[in-house]
Amino acid sequence: MGGAKLHAHHVAELVRRGDLSAYEHVCQILEKIERIEDKVRAYITLIPDIALEKAKEVDRKVEKGKRLGKLAGVVLAIKDVISTKGIPTTCGSLMLQDYIPPYDATAVERAVAEDAIIIGKTNMDEFAMGSTTENSAFGPTFNPWDLSRVPGGSSGGSAAALAAGEADISLGSDTGGSVRCPASFCGVVGLKPTYGLVSRYGLIAYANSLEQIGPLTLCVRDCALLMEVVSGHDPRDSTSIPTEPKKYQDVLEKGVEGLRIGVPEEMIGEGVDPLVAKEVWRAVDTLSELGAVCEETSLPSLEYSLAAYYVIAMSEASSNLARYDGVRYGFRAPDEGMDWSSAYSKTRRLGFGPEVRRRILLGTYALSAGYFDKYYLKAMKVRTLIKRDFDEAFKRFDVLASPTMPILPPKIGEKVADPLSMYMCDIDTVPANLAGIPSISVPCGLVDGLPVGFQAMAPPLGEELLLRVGYALESQVRLYERIPVV
């Protein structure tokens, strides 16, 4: 399979009409994987046999004239932090190397019910902690646009698989940018939904109060399509919003005429590569030409968002990851003759990588008696201020816009040695998670052949606005036509 790729909505339409055999489509993607996967390394686990079986089933349904789902024959890659029944789910960690979930995440269940075909589980930073996919126990993933660079993280495998033509759509998770960052670095579309819009049932927790499962796709229409499938109330997630999925595809062509778009100066000034900023301003100009009213604005509390995010995320992580004790499930280090406490420490020392251990230590410190008020409580207060700043801004603007990532995709190895500079990359993505609002990343241009992502944020449940803005921009930029064929 070479040249331009079929988008997921095309695949589904062709399969439903009987013009494309799901089996042949899966075979083509498997051939592509065979050819390039050792260069890209997007996957931790591949399940070709199961995928081919499912494809036959879809083709049989077509032959018999049975009703077909919205994702008929669409090849789906799933981040390895999302539970898949009977398929290993490692979280990119030695700790869960042999873990096979006994159930599917709701998002997976819904995609499969619409006849999507799971092809495999994608590489990621261990327990979703990172922005480059270099913190994986299974080695890094490489960016298909330039194999010497990172694909972004933590859902790097999900984005790289798409850009390399190794899947039609994918699911990631976004705690502080992990869908949008790799979408930006790999030149694809990524959406972090409103907190509570997509069920977290079956998503292995990093920081519950911040994260959402979100789609990564080759184009905005595919993103709308996948949201129609995975969103909506789930009684198995107590934070799930009681709402029905919307028909997101129906609003795409509404345009941006009259939409008020604000660009927070805190998100596009200091620390942003001027070449990235230039592409984003160009996108803002394009939206203005299409009738949007764009203007610079300020959300002063954003200055503190990175600090607040890392205190909250690490605190929640330290508590969530306490369950990996080597006793109930997961990795257990040899511990013959050891007392309980030393055995427990040894398992955790060997089972977790350095970034995860760092965060558990920092998070535990932030929550400990005497420091709780100084760090965790303070961070929660800042979170409230940030939420208020967004509430105020959305009285004046329909949408806020910024770069997704302040920099171009770094070289492999450039960031991983310096955790602080890795954290700094998240400056523009974490505010949406702190505020619980939806945010999309859409490719808006190229610098030296590397993609730049444009981020748009909207009030809670404003996904339709984001998809409209994304669709309008994409129709002008059409970067998906230039995705490299590795």
Contact status: 93 vs ligand GLN (CB under 6 A): no
Q: Looking at 345-392, which runs of residues are DSSP E strands?
A: none
- Minimal distance in Å, beta carbon 159 to ligand GLN? 13
Contact status: 130 vs ligand GLN (CB under 6 A): yes
Of 127 and 331, the one with the shorter C-beta distance to ligand GLN is 127
- For ligand GLN, the binding residues in 196-215 under the rule CB under 6 A are 206
The four Cα atoms 196, 198, 204, 207 give a dihedral, to 10 degrees, of -30
Side-chain-side CA neighbours of 446 within 13 Å: the count stands at 15
Residue type at 35 in one-letter notation? R
Q: 9, 222 in Cβ contact below 8 A? A: yes
Of 313 and 366, the one with the shorter C-beta distance to ligand GLN is 313
Contact status: 126 vs ligand GLN (CB under 6 A): no
Select the span of 115-123, 174-182, 230-238, 271-279 touching ligand GLN (CB under 6 A): 174-182
- Contact mark string toward ligand GLN, 396..435, x via CB under 6 A: ------------------------------x---------
Contact status: 129 vs ligand GLN (CB under 6 A): yes
C-alpha separations of 414 from 39, 134, 150 in Å: 19, 10, 9
* 154 is known as an active-site residue: yes
- Minimal distance in Å, beta carbon 302 to ligand GLN? 16
Contact status: 360 vs ligand GLN (CB under 6 A): no
Residue of 128, 259, 407, 486 that binds ligand GLN (CB under 6 A)? 128
Contact status: 174 vs ligand GLN (CB under 6 A): yes
Contact status: 131 vs ligand GLN (CB under 6 A): yes
The Cα–Cα gap between 402 and 254 comes to 22
Q: Who contacts 131 (Cβ-Cβ below 8 Å, separation ≥6)?
A: 125, 152, 153, 154, 177, 178, 181, 415, 422, 425, 426
Contact status: 159 vs ligand GLN (CB under 6 A): no
What's the burial of 102, exposed, middle or buried (CB within 10 Å: 0-12/13-18/19+)? exposed
The Cα–Cα gap between 156 and 145 comes to 13
Asked whether the bond before 148 is cis by omega within 30 degrees of 0, the reply is no
Of 168 and 428, the one with the shorter C-beta distance to ligand GLN is 428
Nearest CA to 51 out of 2, 98, 84, 18 is that of 84
Residue of 21, 84, 106, 154 that binds ligand GLN (CB under 6 A)? 154
Select the span of 127-135, 142-150, 245-253, 276-284 touching ligand GLN (CB under 6 A): 127-135
Cα Rg of the chain (Å, integer):
21
Contact status: 321 vs ligand GLN (CB under 6 A): no
Q: 76, 175 in Cβ contact below 8 A? A: no
Which of the residues 5, 79, 192, 246 is marked catalytic?
Answer: 79
- Contact mark string toward ligand GLN, 278..317, x via CB under 6 A: -----------------------------------x----
The Cα–Cα gap between 441 and 216 comes to 10
* 79 is known as an active-site residue: yes
- φ and ψ at residue 369, rounded to 5 degrees: -55, 135
Binding region for ligand GLN (CB under 6 A): 128-131, 154, 174-178, 206, 313, 426
- Residue positions annotated with a catalytic role: 79, 154, 178
